């Protein structure tokens, strides 16, 4: 598991400075199995004694997004959620009642992108998939 080092390198490799805040954002996203909002990240940084301002968090996320290190997802009503781009990308199942997220195995889009590219003439760069439902706990209520 040298992911952490890899990601820090990705930031510095692109000519950006490897600051504590950036390392913290990368590490927090790495250890999150589910998408996080900017505020989630901000709070986790604070808790772990690596406080940065919320605007810094937004700026780091913007930088990472531009460099394809994170993807922006929207889930919890009008709040942007961010996920680290990993080699094996994931999709999530979200309970519409309690907002719990569960990672799904596999990607049903695999192999389909080339078909879409041929049909539409677009260069396909990625996709976002979320599945919604009611989790067993919420159903019981």
Partner DNA sequence: GTAGATGCAAATTTTTTGCATTTAG
Partner DNA sequence: CTAAATGCAAAAAATTTGCATCTAC
User: What residues line the site for DNA (CB under 7 A)?
Assistant: 12, 16-22, 37-39, 51-56, 58-60, 62, 77-80
- Give me the least distance between CB of 56 and a second copy, in Å please: 18
| CB burial readout 110-128, b (16+ within 10 A) else e | eeeeeeeeeeeeeeeeeee
Q: Which residues bind a second copy (CB under 8 A)?
A: 72-74, 77-78, 80, 93, 95-96, 102, 104-105, 108-109, 112-113, 116-117, 119-136, 139
Residue 21 binding target from DNA, a second copy, none, CB below 5 to 8 Å by type:
DNA
Residue 19 binding target from a second copy, DNA, none, CB below 5 to 8 Å by type:
DNA
- Give me the least distance between CB of 20 and a second copy, in Å please: 27
- Give me the least distance between CB of 86 and a second copy, in Å please: 17
Name which of 26, 86, 13, 15 is nearest 60 in CA terms. 26
Residue 94 forms beta bridges with which residues? 101, 132
- Give me the least distance between CB of 118 and DNA, in Å please: 33
Residue 78: φ, ψ to 5°? 65, 20
| Whole-number Cα distances in Å, 92 to 11, 99, 111, 116, 132 | 26, 11, 19, 22, 8
Q: Which is nearer to DNA, 20 or 118 (CB)?
A: 20
Residue 103 binding target from a second copy, DNA, none, CB below 5 to 8 Å by type:
none
CB atoms within 10 A of CB 107: 14
């Amino acid at each position: 598991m040298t992911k952490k080092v890899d990601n820090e390198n990705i930031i510095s490799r692109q000519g950006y400075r490897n600051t504590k805040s950036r390392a913290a954002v990368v590490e927090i996203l790495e250890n999150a199995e589910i998408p996080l909002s900017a505020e989630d990240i901000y709070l986790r940084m604070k808790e772990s004694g690596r406080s940065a301002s919320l605007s810094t968090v937004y700026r780091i996320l913007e930088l990472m997004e531009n460099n394809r290190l994170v993807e922006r997802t929207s889930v919890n009503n009008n709040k942007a959620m961010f996920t680290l781009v990993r080699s094996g990308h994931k999709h999530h199942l979200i309970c519409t009642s309690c907002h719990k997220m569960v990672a799904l195995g596999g990607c049903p889009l695999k192999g389909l992108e080339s078909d879409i590219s041929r049909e539409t003439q677009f260069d396909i760069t990625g996709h976002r998939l979320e599945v919604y439902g009611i989790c067993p706990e919420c159903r019981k209520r």
